[in-house]
Structure 1
Amino acid sequence: MNSDQVRQTYLDFFASKGHAIVSSSPLVPGNDPTLLFTNAGMVQFKDVFLGMDKRDYSRATSSQKCMRISGKHNDLENVGPSQRHHTFFEMLGNFSFGDYFKEDAIAYAWELLTEHYKLPIDRLAVTIFEKDDESYDIWVNQVGLDPKRITRLGPKDNFWQMAEVGPCGPNSEIHWDKYPERGVDDIIPSLQADDNRFLEIWNLVFMQFNRTQADPDHTGDYDDPLPAPGVDTGMGLERMVSVMQGVPSNYDTDLFMDIMDATQDILKHQDAFREENYVAYRVIADHTRAVTFLIADGVTPGSDGRSYIARMLIRRAWRFAHKMGVEQPFLSGVAGAVIDKMSAIYPETRRNEDMIKATIENEEQAFIRTMDQAVGVFEGIVSDMENEKRDQMAGEEAFLLRATYGLPFEITRDLLQERGLELDEVGYDAAMEEHRRISGDIADDFEDVSVYQDLLANLRRAGTLPEDGVAYDPYDYSRFNQETTVLAIVKDGAKVDSLEQDE
């Protein structure tokens, strides 16, 4: 199966089980201002699970665009060298809002995997929460799974909670056996040790309780049964496609190979050169995928918050290309390959193709203009470090490179790691906080939304805005050329009376 078939098989299967197919929400969460990016399929259903929203369906399925990258505290350095790490990924999921529960959720998962994806049973194993006898009984007595393929694990691995108090419950993970030759008797020890024999492909979360007070030992003494238990499952598309296509890495699937093939055509590299520089090719493919979707969802490169992530990804991808001898902008062409690959399921990428390409190329050109100077300053700092016999760059020095010369923290860290040097991240955080304090800038990783909340309330009180707000399509960029009434203007987190041209 190709990736489109894997995705569609999932959605069609759950549609046949009475689930509404719900479109992916944008990468910028509309209902959770504390979240930098949408990072799971359940984000758009969070208010439904909390009982604050009511939909006209009680079961749903989706393929959700996700980003798991939060400022500098992330696994970014693993993107490329790792077989599985990505900044952007798709999460397939099925959800029950007080409808079905464990029995059906487990049965659906097993039917899809073994009858539709046709995965052999002797390559599958599951984990459950150590106290979840109900799930164990379903797996053994209803599904018929050999108990030797079921591992009980503690709350760190198999218990989900939204916060210290509130909705929570056990989960059951389904794993693919990469090394079945190690035998059945090794399954439980291997899953307990997490020794790389297995690849997790699906997580079934059973929201069963309301935790009334913190319970770090998971005694269950403060867990009241929810009146309407829910199901929230997540299957990483990239991982599932790697299993279905029998390849060792997510980057060997058609989701990435088409993009890397296009990159090779644009850069006119020989196969041997591409193989030698596989990390750079993976980084370029991953980061360009991510930024294509970010721009399609309205995030443009800038110096703070989500905009900083977009800028950093473009500049980091280009820097990896520069290491291969690239001197001119080219990532907009790679973005075209991303759009060709993904626009059938995510049409917003095609609708905004011109803007995506122009934005990426403009950011590349800006970085090319400043990179030599930034790297020159970096080299001067490293020379000082050598003279002073220190192997750690001060946080203030790294912040200077970002704030004055446009060199993202992540690239500074890459450059240092390539030389076996370190960066004082605590000192960097302190320098960033001091800058924000002096400048009055409160928006870095998260946007301060209080100004919007106050503005909304004032407009409603004045009778200017209807109770249900205004219509807004995050993908309709033609709105910038429409005649309309301006109710308010917000710039840099504050209400202003006017804007100058190009602001």
Structure 2
Amino acid sequence: MEAPPDWPSARVREEFIGFFESKAHTPWPSSPVVPVDDLDDVGKDTYHHTFFEMLGNWSFGDYFKDGAIAYAWQLLTQVYKLPTDRIYATYFGGDEKAGLAPDTESKDIWLKYLPNERVLPFGCKDNFWEMGDTGPCGPCTEIHFDRIGNRDAASLVNNDDPTCIEIWNLVFIQFNRESDGTLRSLPAKHVDTGMGFERLTSILQNKMSNYDTDVFMPLFDAIHKLAGAGIQPYSGKVGSDDVGKVDMAYRVVADHIRTLSFAIADGSRPGNEGREYVLRRILRRAVHFGHQKLMAKQGFFSSLVDVFVRVMGDVFPELKDNEKKIKDIIKEEEASFENTLAKGYERFKKAADAVKENGGAVLSGQDAFVLWDTYGYPIDLTEVMAVDFGLSVDMEGFNVSMEEARQKARNARYKAGGKSIVLDANATSQLRNQGLASTNDSPKFQHEYIAVW
């Protein structure tokens, strides 16, 4: 058995919080965000996640570039004791077209800590932060770490190389982007930073991947116990080395149970529309991979909640407080999808085999729509299965079928007299003058879970 790490993940987090508390910072609870732009990539490699933890420090006018960089350097090199010869820093190198000058202030500060060849300029894409077309913005400086060492890794920085990774982004909010596109200096300058907790933990535990740390290994051990006979333990393989996509399935299942547990604890739940459908997609993707690649039995996914809460519950008490609700909702959703999972897969396989027998390479949009409409398969899951068969999906045809179904539903509502009733300000005022009480909308904002038997 591998010895416990000198830097268990809990200690990594505690040292970060303690360091900034010693610098007169006030700790605040975390804010949950579920990024789904890269959902299809989660599991394929060892660094994408739908849920990750970000450590950060902020300053609202108390200190700026010099202080932020000094704190970062002190924490990384004196507390975490990262070797300084493997640290690279980037700064904003300017953009003539946008009329933006280089951030030479950040560069000069970094040159107090690092040699010139490890202080690198980049453009707007990597080193100028904006939240939209208008609003606060400014240059940023990123800290990258070379996992290998004893080499010149400058060319690997910002080059999507897993051996030289960004670990901390310090954003210097000093401008406001006006509606006409111009930049106006802010009266007070602020600092907003974000450091990848899992990435830092992997470095301190001398692991080449976030998934190899003690953040994930308890989940992988639990998943292996639930997997079918002959399924090997997680080994960190990717691409063609990952025969049968077994390790990909481990990563998908572990990542997705983390995401869903936090989302449900915060009041969300899987559903058919908008953000709720994102959670349903995530859940069904995990259940599919568990059954098809790990040969797990029905109900395996919800049983992982206990393990995850045991690992993270002390740090995030909302998980413990809502453990039963989390497990019940996932169990209900899992059972609902499992009812059609096998039949849907057979329907897909039949259609995919027919395409290949006829020398085709594209699954029809109509077949993909039937899987979505009848069997509950999210379209991105159908795309994943199609890749396994060497096929793509006719997305244009799928979207046409979806729109036709929506139009039929609209027509049915119209025939049934289901027109929307719109009350303008005059109408609502008249009703109020007649003494009609306003509708109490408060129950729809209460996220209580109701068990239906």
| TM-score w.r.t. length of structure 2 | 0.82
Larger radius of gyration: 2
Structural mapping, 1:209-358, within 5 Å: 209-212=175-178, 222-267=182-227, 272=232, 274-275=234-235, 277-323=246-292, 324-358=294-328
Once residues 407 and 17 of structure 2 are traced to their aligned partners in structure 1, the CA distance between those partners, rounded to angstroms, is: 48
Could you tell me which residue of structure 1 aligns to residue 419 of structure 2? none
Tell me if structure 1 keeps the 8 A contact 2:221–2:233: no
Q: 1:238, CA displacement in angstroms?
A: 0.8
Aligned to 1:117: 80
Distance in 2 (CA, whole Å) between partners of 1:316 and 1:121 is: 41
The answer to whether residue 35 in structure 2 is matched with residue 68 in structure 1 is yes
Whole-Å separation in 2 of the counterparts to 1:255 and 1:197: 19
TM-superposed CA distance for 1:437, in Å, is 5.4
Count of aligned pairs: 406
Asked if the contact 1:381/1:397 (under 8 Å) is kept, the reply is yes
Where does the alignment leave 5 or more consecutive residues of structure 1 unmatched? 28-37, 39-66, 216-221, 442-453, 463-485, 494-500
Change (3 A) 1:303 1:90: same
Question: Is residue 2:168 matched to residue 1:202?
Answer: yes
CA contact (8 A) 2:163 2:208 kept: no
Worse-superposed segment, 389-398 or 123-132 = 389-398
Write the distance in 2 (CA, Å) between the matches of 1:372 and 1:434: 27
Between stretches 293-302 and 259-268, larger displacement belongs to 259-268
Q: In 1, are the aligned partners of 2:65 and 2:106 still within 8 Å (CA)?
A: yes
1:251 offset after TM fit, Å? 0.6
Could you tell me which amino acid in structure 1 is paired with residue 107 of structure 2? Y
- Judging changes above 3 Å, is the alpha-carbon distance between structure 1 residues 189 and 353 closer, same or farther for their aligned structure 2 residues? closer
In structure 1, which of residues 126, 132, 151 is the aligned counterpart of residue 103 of structure 2?
132
Question: Residues of 1 paired with 2:442 and 2:409: CA distance?
Answer: 21
Unpaired runs of at least 5, structure 2: 1-6, 94-101, 236-242, 412-423, 433-438, 446-450
Asked if 1:104 corresponds to 2:67, the answer is yes
Q: Which residue of structure 1 aligns with residue 96 of structure 2?
A: none
Q: 1:419 maps to which residue?
A: 389
Q: Which residue of 2 aligns with 1:188?
A: 154
Deviation at 1:133, TM superposition (A): 0.3
Question: Which residue in 1 is equivalent to 2:29?
Answer: 23
Equivalent-residue separation in structure 2 for 1:490 and 1:352 (angstroms): 20
CA separation of 1:225/1:302 partners in 2, compared to 1, >3 Å: closer, same or farther?
same
CA contact (8 A) 1:266 1:333 kept: no
Correspondence for 1:366: 336
Q: Is the 8 A contact 2:302 2:334 kept in 1?
A: no
In the alignment, is residue 395 of structure 1 matched against residue 365 of structure 2?
A: yes
After TM superposition, the score normalised by the length of structure 1 is 0.74
* Residues 84-104 of structure 1: CA deviation (Å, up to 9, x unaligned): 111111111111122211111
Is the CA contact 1:177–1:198 (under 8 Å) kept in the aligned structure 2?
yes
Measure, in 2, the Cα distance between the counterparts of 1:211 and 1:413: 39
Q: For the structure 1 residues 104 and 419, does the alpha-carbon distance in structure 2 shift closer, same or farther, using more than 3 Å as the test?
A: same
Other-structure match for 1:428: 398
Q: Distance in 2 between matches of 1:403 and 1:170?
A: 46
Aligned counterparts of 1:385 and 1:490: Cα–Cα separation in 2: 50
The aligned counterpart of 1:469 is none
> Matches of 2:381 and 2:298 in 1, distance apart?
19
- Amino acid corresponding to residue 35 of structure 2 in structure 1: R
